[in-house]
Amino acid sequence: MKSSESRLGQWPLLAEAARRDRLGQALLLVGDEKGCQSAATALARWRLCEGSGEEACNCRSCRRQLDAHPDMRHVRPETKTIRLASVQQAVASSQSAPLWSPMTVLWFDPVTAMTLEAETALLKSLEEPEATTQYLLTAERRDQVLPTVVSRCQIVHLQGSIRASRPFRPEYLADRGRDLQEDLTAAAEAVRGRYLQRPDPRLLELFDVLVEAHGGIDRNLNQELTRETVAMWWRQTVGPD
């Protein structure tokens, strides 16, 4: 199992998902350009690594410049747009086994630069992905991406996940004026902190509930139900405080 601690350590939810082998094959990273660049680079590095996945790894893949890696396809706009041919070429090249790494990484940077034709071709390949392909899609806002593409991806909100420890209080869940997604991120971070101090397996279950709830909001899961379910789990696992 690869270590996710140092490469993905800046993004606790991503690191935890990676550690538990829950990282999706297609990830839509949503955030500003700088945030997307650093998260996508870290994820690509982590997937391409032939060793432990640690920051200090010195394997052949980690030594190679990212864009010069034989299993890396970093697809960027030629002028203003990413065209159909570029997507087709990247997808076709991922259909044969990777040369060095466990996975081929396709990074569409940003997915919002794609022409509609190109995005439709991407959608087709997301419907039947090769087991050895990691898709990374970056976008400033998720509503700029085709909903059919969004529905094929695990969505990662980069804003808010960088702050390592924000306070979380269970009563926040009952407050409809608060941003539920941000509170769930803070709650997951709090649970992770508790688990590191006291490795109770029930905390891992709670963590899963929080991660699933976080993803569920993007699939328009009923927010009221999410608030109630998470609050119930929290009471049962952590207690009223």
Which residues are near Zn ion by CB under 5 A? 49, 51, 57, 59, 62
Least distance between Zn ion and beta carbon 102 (Å): 11
Q: How far is the CB of 138 from Zn ion (least distance, A)?
A: 23
**Secondary structure E strands in the chain:** 26-30, 72-75, 104-108, 133-139, 154-157
Taking the C-alpha atoms of residue 185 and residue 163, their distance in angstroms, rounded to an integer, is: 10
DSSP letters for 169-207: -GGGGG-TTS-HHHHHHHHHHHHHHHHHHS--HHHHHHH
- Which residues have CB under 8 Å from 64's CB, separation 6+? none
Q: Which of 10/88 has CB closer to Zn ion?
A: 10
- Cβ 60 to Zn ion, closest distance in Å? 8
> Closest CB to Zn ion among 31 and 53?
53
Query: Which residue, 33 or 67, has its beta carbon nearer to Zn ion?
Result: 67
Cis peptide before 170 (omega within 30 of 0): no
Given the complex with Zn ion, which of 63 and 198 has the nearer CB atom?
A: 63
Smallest separation (angstroms) from Zn ion to the CB of 205:
32
First-to-last C-alpha distance (Å) of the chain: 35
